[in-house]
Amino acid sequence: MTPADVVIAGYSETKVVFRSGRSAYDFAGEAFASLLERTGVAKNEIDGLSVTLALSEAGNPFFAVYMADALGLTPTWLNAGAIGGCSATGGVARAAAGIRDGMCRIAVVLSADAPSTSWRANYGAYRSEFQDPPGVQGPPATFGLLMSRYQHQYGLAPEALGKIAITQRAHALANPNALDKFKKPLTMDEYMASRMIADPLRVLDCVMFCDGANAFLVMGEDEARSRGLNKMARPKAYAEVTNFAGNESCPDITQSGFWKIAPNLYRQAGMTPQDIKMFQPYDDFTIAVLMQMEAFGFCERGKGSDYVLKTDLSYRGALPLNTGGGQISAGQPGLASGGLNLAEAVRQMFGEAEKRQIEKPATALVTGIGVIPYGRNWGTSAAMILEAANA
């Protein structure tokens, strides 16, 4: 549980770029320098660092140490974020614990990756013998399987997934950091006509690997106020679970770890789904968004399609959804992806979302997903509820 006295007091994010030709270190440097400039914090005051492990630097088990070196930092608390898209929210929660335990005072949670320029990851394990031979190398096949099962159990309207893609695309149009390629509106006809890649998964249900970075400044609330950092996002609750149903051979794959952590999350925050003013869920695939709407109680289990079709998910709507376009429409900066959803939540709370600004951004639910395992849904599920704490 994240104590209420630790806050996110600053954020920064680079533009998402496809095949930039740049490294994760270079993107990290851009996000880091911007964070210092935006908050006025001096580099030498930073004594905590959380670094998300990157696909593009995956061969280096000392990536976090090399990152500290690259940035000229001397942290007394260092965390390597090894839960993929959960590493940003997870990094903030761990940094809060590090601050609470006195291991550091001011931490930077940094995620940078450039897999569209350099892919160095090899997941190893059982994959070469048991997953690759049937042709399940990439996430799309696994998500095609997951969607087929969901559709079988509950019914799935392609128009609902299309609406998620279209809504997020509209949001990306107002996000200067979104990938340029996605800066055009999407119609339902285009979505429905988009090519099947692993039935019933369409290409427009998926993210595209890109390059990019984001960074968050985490410190005690008093510390932030004393520095005149009066825009703050307070983590009210955090929960994660890895390898949900890991001791079962035949679990219901339409039930993810989010079902386990959601009640705990709301209890920690003292909130209900009705208290959530914006939903910034991890969106590697549209079905993951829809399934999370159910797990977090915005609608009943299995009713995601109906809920999406009848709900205004725009930034002006009843449940503003991935108001920066999410990863599907802003581009997925590799494993820095989870920070993209988090950066948008913080940006909204700071009132800096310009043309897509939510009127009352008092609370946000941000989630993360890490790794696609063998024949299930996803490996790590993480979620954070934030509360705006602006002075």
Single residue of 176, 189, 247, 359 touching other proteins by CB under 8 A: 247
**Residue 141 CB, nearest distance to other proteins (Å)?**
5
**Residue 308 CB, nearest distance to other proteins (Å)?**
22
**Residue 380 CB, nearest distance to other proteins (Å)?**
17
Considering only residues 198 to 227 of the shown chain, the ones binding other proteins according to CB under 8 A are 198-201
Query: Rounded to a whole number, what is the distance in angstroms from the first to the last CA of the chain?
Result: 24
Single residue of 43, 60, 125, 187 touching other proteins by CB under 8 A: 125
279-280 sheet: strands from edge to edge? 77-81, 48-52, 106-113, 212-220, 6-13, 233-242, 380-388, 363-370, 279-280
Span from 193-201, 296-304, 348-356, 381-389 in contact with other proteins (CB under 8 A): 193-201
Length of the chain: 391
Q: Give the distance from CA 265 to its chain's centroid.
A: 16
Alpha helix locations (H) across 112-254? 139-154, 158-173, 188-193, 221-226
**Residue 243 CB, nearest distance to other proteins (Å)?**
9
For other proteins, the closer CB: 45 or 199:
199
Considering only residues 368 to 387 of the shown chain, the ones binding other proteins according to CB under 8 A are 374-375
Single residue of 176, 195, 272, 359 touching other proteins by CB under 8 A: 195
| 62 near other proteins, rule: CB under 8 A | no
Residues 6 or more apart whose CB falls under 8 angstroms from that of 239 comprise 261, 264, 265, 268, 382, 383
Single residue of 249, 274, 360, 391 touching other proteins by CB under 8 A: 249
Residues 6 or more apart whose CB falls under 8 angstroms from that of 112 comprise 24, 25, 27, 28, 31, 52, 54, 212, 213, 214, 333, 336
Span from 7-15, 166-174, 190-198, 296-304 in contact with other proteins (CB under 8 A): 190-198
For other proteins, the closer CB: 137 or 264:
137
Closest CA to 47 of 217, 233, 235: 217
**Residue 250 CB, nearest distance to other proteins (Å)?**
6
Considering only residues 128 to 187 of the shown chain, the ones binding other proteins according to CB under 8 A are 128-138, 140-141, 144-149, 152
Identity of residue 319: L
**Residue 154 CB, nearest distance to other proteins (Å)?**
13
| 197 near other proteins, rule: CB under 8 A | yes
Q: Identify the H or E element spanning 383.
A: strand 380-388
**Residue 90 CB, nearest distance to other proteins (Å)?**
24
Dihedral angle sign, alpha carbons of residues 366, 372, 378, 379: negative
CB 84 within 8 A of CB 54: no
**Residue 132 CB, nearest distance to other proteins (Å)?**
6
For other proteins, the closer CB: 134 or 176:
134
Q: Identify the H or E element spanning 242.
A: strand 233-242
Closest CA to 48 of 4, 83, 100: 100
**Residue 334 CB, nearest distance to other proteins (Å)?**
19
Q: Round to whole Å and give the CA distance between 111 and 238.
A: 18
| 192 near other proteins, rule: CB under 8 A | no
Collect contacts of 132-137 with beta carbons under 8 A, ≥24 apart: none
**Residue 248 CB, nearest distance to other proteins (Å)?**
8
Single residue of 188, 192, 193, 196 touching other proteins by CB under 8 A: 196
For other proteins, the closer CB: 174 or 253:
253
286 phi/psi in degrees, rounded to 5:
-60, -35
| 188 near other proteins, rule: CB under 8 A | no
Q: Which residues bind other proteins (CB under 8 A)?
A: 124-126, 128-138, 140-141, 144-149, 152, 195-201, 246-250, 253, 374-375
